[in-house]
């Protein structure tokens, strides 16, 4: 007896394969729509700030505005308003394992510096007297305490003697610092009369992961981390101070519970049990 392959099984396999491809296609289309929605929402948020509408988070407001200025200068930045970080992909700025800016990125960073000179005085204490009239809304009167220019690398060790990822991250941060702060920005100071700009290196200690695995390309980056100064006279500062005052205000003293007095036939000795008199 000879068994011939069933055409029904082949048809079933084709149907299952077509269904799988359709599901994958639907998933990709869905992710694309989510990405488009996120981009539109971010753009609308920046537009609302520029139109003067209120934003609850002063850090997010400042970072969105500054990040948009970077984009207008031609920098391909990643803006994270919640953490106050603007990221620059290192591969677009430097050669492989190099801390020397290429010609194109140097010119782009110079354009970004011109944008910073226009927008940062709106948030820097030392520039209060020279603030532009067209500064974005700043209901909380937020001021920038520090801008850290941080160098990050992937986790692949460098094979250059004692020169490690720590050195590479720091040198790349310094290279960006020297271009972005050349001239006027180097004089920006916070309320404590300390320089606003500084540099640091995280090497491969903060790599970017996708689906649990390191994304080496995204890990190689230079980030600008913005830290705002606490303003006790702002709305949030006053609310925090009032809450602290309320918590530290002593409550009305309570009367201690009445203690029984010893009877006439008992003598209370210090730190001892009552001794009954005979």
pLDDT tens digit sequence for 202-256: 999 999 999 999 999 999 999 999 999 976 555 555 565 566 667 666 655 555 5
Q: Is 14 exposed, middle or buried (0-12, 13-18, 19+ CB in 10 A)?
A: exposed
Instruction: Give pLDDT, residue 13.
Output: 56
Q: For residue 163, give both structure tokens.
A: 């020169």
Instruction: Give pLDDT, residue 159.
Output: 83
- How far is residue 238's CA from residue 143's CA, in Å, rounded to a whole number? 16
Three-state SS at 261: coil
- How far is residue 66's CA from residue 114's CA, in Å, rounded to a whole number? 12
pLDDT at 266 over 60: no
Closest alpha carbon to 49 in 28, 63, 33, 35:
63
Mean pLDDT across the chain: 80
Closest alpha carbon to 228 in 236, 218, 220:
236
C-alpha neighbours within 13 Å on the C-beta side of residue 56: 1
Q: For residue 67, give both structure tokens.
A: 């990040």
Q: What percent of the chain is predicted at pLDDT more than 90?
A: 54
Neighbours of 164 (CB within 10 A): 16
- How far is residue 83's CA from residue 226's CA, in Å, rounded to a whole number? 8
**Average pLDDT of span 17-43:** 65
pLDDT tens digit sequence for 70-107: 999 999 999 999 999 999 999 999 999 999 999 999 99
pLDDT at 33 over 50: yes
- Banded model confidence at residue 108, pLDDT cuts 50, 70, 90: very high
- Banded model confidence at residue 151, pLDDT cuts 50, 70, 90: very high
Q: For residue 154, give both structure tokens.
A: 């992937």
**Average pLDDT of span 120-128:** 94
pLDDT at 150 over 90: yes
Largest distance between two CA atoms of the chain? 121
- How much is the pTM? 0.66
pLDDT tens digit sequence for 155-169: 999 988 899 999 999
Instruction: Give pLDDT, residue 46.
Output: 52
CA dihedral 79, 80, 81, 82 (to 10 degrees): 180
Contact call for residues 67 and 224 (beta carbons, < 8 A): no
């Amino acid at each position: 007896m000879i068994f011939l392959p069933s055409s029904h099984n082949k048809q079933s396999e084709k149907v299952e394969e077509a269904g799988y491809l359709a599901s994958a296609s639907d998933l990709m289309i869905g992710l694309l729509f989510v990405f488009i929605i996120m981009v539109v929402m971010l753009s609308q948020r920046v537009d609302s700030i520029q139109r003067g509408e209120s934003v609850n988070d002063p850090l997010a407001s400042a970072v969105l505005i500054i990040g948009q200025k970077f984009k207008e200068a031609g920098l391909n930045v990643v803006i994270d308003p919640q953490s106050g970080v603007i990221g620059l992909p290192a591969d677009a700025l430097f050669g492989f394992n190099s801390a020397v800016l290429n010609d194109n990125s140097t010119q782009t960073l110079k354009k970004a510096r011109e944008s910073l000179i226009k927008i940062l005085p709106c948030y820097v204490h030392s520039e209060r007297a020279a603030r532009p009239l067209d500064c974005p809304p700043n209901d909380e009167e937020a001021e920038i305490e520090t801008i850290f220019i941080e160098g990050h690398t992937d986790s692949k060790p460098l094979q250059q003697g004692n020169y490690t990822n720590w050195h590479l991250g720091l040198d790349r941060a310094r290279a960006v610092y020297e271009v972005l702060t050349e001239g006027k920005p180097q004089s920006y100071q916070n309320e404590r009369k300390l320089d606003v700009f500084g540099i640091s290196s995280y090497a491969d200690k903060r790599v970017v992961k996708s689906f649990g695995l390191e994304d080496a390309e995204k890990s190689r980056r230079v980030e600008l981390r913005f830290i705002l100064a606490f303003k006790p006279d702002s709305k949030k500062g006053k609310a925090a101070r009032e809450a602290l005052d309320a918590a530290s205000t002593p409550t009305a003293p309570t009367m201690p519970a009445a203690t029984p007095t010893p009877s006439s036939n008992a003598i209370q000795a210090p730190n001892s049990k009552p001794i009954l008199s005979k």
